[in-house]
Amino acid sequence: MRLIITSCLLALSCSSVPSFARDHQVQRPKITGVAGIELRTDDLAKSKHFYADEMGFPVQQTGPDSLRFRVDGEQYISVMKAASTSEPRLVSIAFITSDAEALREYLAANDMRVPSKVEKGADGDRFFEVVDPEDHRVRFIQYGKRTKKAPPDGKAQEVGKHMIHVGFIVHNQSEEDRFYKDLLGFKLYWHGGMKDDKTDWVDMQVPDGTDWLEYMLNIGPGASHRTIGVMDHMAIGVHNINAAYDRVKANGWSGDSKPQLGRDGKWQLNLYDPDDTRIEAMEFKPSKPPCCSQYQGEHPGE
């Protein structure tokens, strides 16, 4: 799978998506989970040390200035060298679909600008990208055949084996809902905030699975590099947060974060890559009732 902007994507406008006139005659294929996230880095060697050594993900060189880290057979973290320090760290997010061409046709039938064709990678993956109402690049991937390979010594070093969500800053929830909820069928999983009467986070599960996209709300235009890194993030699901903490410590991670109980009732551990992008280890299931609202869907790992 080539994680590059194709010529057909370059032809797309990054302006707001027009109002969707839902075509009920064209069926949407399944969207089953998170496929991955693509990031920029100022120092590729430091990123490799963090994701491959400290986080324990198998690494593959995908170009002279890009690396791909496999969370499992169907999920990835891709990192490319930034052209300048002013470029945003987040490049794109991706979701798994059962039929890329059918999804492209569905979006086109519902007034979404899409590439003229689906691309095919050397590994048999089929994929295309669109731009959501807030100019986030979103990739949809139909995977070819995959085989999961164990590490050479047969011992898993990964902090976890499943990316359960990705998140990014959202300024206009209703605009994003038109695309993710109304058109693609994402559904509310949970929402909450730092205070019980304020919503700062909205978790939208994929329509045919338990992974989710997290809207990070109430972030002003002058947010710092660190704040943006906290908000534009990913989460790796784990069964036990203390075991995950011990794993990364054994891998050589020397950060000062400690496991903490989140407002959603789940134990989590916040880790930061060399460019301040947050990678959140999170238990699959809550240990206590959440604040603010009840869960509306199944938990990952169930």
Query: Mind listing the pLDDT tens digit for each residue in 26-85?
Result: 899 999 999 999 999 999 999 999 999 999 999 999 999 999 999 988 899 999 999 998
Average pLDDT, the chain: 90
CATH number, domain of 244, equals 3.10.180.10
pLDDT of 295 > 60? The answer is yes
Q: Are 253 and 166 within one domain?
A: yes
Look at residue 248 in the predicted model and tell me its pLDDT: 98
Q: Are 45 and 134 within one domain?
A: yes
Q: What is the DSSP letter of 154?
A: S
Query: Could you report the per-residue pLDDT of 185-237, keeping only the tens digit for each?
Result: 999 999 999 999 999 999 999 999 999 999 999 999 899 999 999 999 999 99
Cβ neighbours of residue 299 under 8 Å, at least 6 residues apart? 210, 284, 285, 286
User: 179 in helix, strand or coil?
Assistant: helix
What mean pLDDT comes out for the span 159-164? Answer: 96
Domain count, the chain: 2
Q: 299 and 210 in contact (C-beta within 8 Å)?
A: yes
Flag whether 69 is in a domain: yes
Q: Are 168 and 126 within one domain?
A: no
Q: Are 117 and 178 within one domain?
A: no
| CA distances to 67, 124, 173, 246 from 178, in Å | 33, 31, 9, 42
pLDDT of 7 > 50? The answer is no
The domain boundary, picked from 83, 107, 142, lies at 142
pLDDT of 2 > 60? The answer is no
User: 230 in helix, strand or coil?
Assistant: helix
Look at residue 69 in the predicted model and tell me its pLDDT: 97
Flag whether 149 is in a domain: no
Flag whether 249 is in a domain: yes
Q: Are 215 and 272 within one domain?
A: yes
The domain boundary, picked from 142, 174, 195, lies at 142
Look at residue 145 in the predicted model and tell me its pLDDT: 75
Look at residue 112 in the predicted model and tell me its pLDDT: 96
Measured from the Cβ of residue 76, the count of other Cβ atoms closer than 10 Å reads: 23
Percent over 90 (pLDDT), the chain: 82
Query: Could you report the per-residue pLDDT of 105-119, keeping only the tens digit for each?
Result: 999 999 999 999 999
Flag whether 279 is in a domain: yes
Q: Are 175 and 269 within one domain?
A: yes
pLDDT of 156 > 90? The answer is no
Extended strands (E) in the chain: 31-41, 59-63, 66-72, 75-81, 90-97, 119-120, 126-131, 137-142, 162-169, 187-192, 201-205, 212-216, 233-238, 260-261, 267-272, 278-283
Q: Are 187 and 110 within one domain?
A: no
Look at residue 33 in the predicted model and tell me its pLDDT: 98
Q: 78 and 3 in contact (C-beta within 8 Å)?
A: yes
Q: 28 and 63 in contact (C-beta within 8 Å)?
A: no
What's the whole-model pTM score? 0.90
pLDDT of 4 > 50? The answer is no
The domain boundary, picked from 113, 142, 171, lies at 142
Q: Are 32 and 78 within one domain?
A: yes
What domain range is 184 assigned to? 162-283
Flag whether 13 is in a domain: no
Measured from the Cβ of residue 294, the count of other Cβ atoms closer than 10 Å reads: 7
Flag whether 263 is in a domain: yes
Look at residue 122 in the predicted model and tell me its pLDDT: 78
Q: Are 73 and 115 within one domain?
A: yes
Query: Could you report the per-residue pLDDT of 96-108, keeping only the tens digit for each?
Result: 999 999 999 999 9
How confident is residue 23, by pLDDT bands cut at 50, 70 and 90? Answer: low
The identity of residue 23, as a single letter, is D
Flag whether 7 is in a domain: no
Distance CA(291)–CA(281), nearest Å, equals: 20
Look at residue 270 in the predicted model and tell me its pLDDT: 98
Backbone angles phi, psi at 178, to 5 degrees: -60, -35
Backbone angles phi, psi at 156, to 5 degrees: -75, 135
Q: Are 170 and 262 within one domain?
A: yes
How confident is residue 9, by pLDDT bands cut at 50, 70 and 90? Answer: very low
Q: Is the dihedral of CA 163, 164, 169, 174 positive or negative?
A: positive
Q: Are 104 and 196 within one domain?
A: no
Q: Are 210 and 267 within one domain?
A: yes
Percent over 70 (pLDDT), the chain: 88
Lowest pLDDT segment from 153-157, 179-183, 236-240:
153-157
Flag whether 193 is in a domain: yes
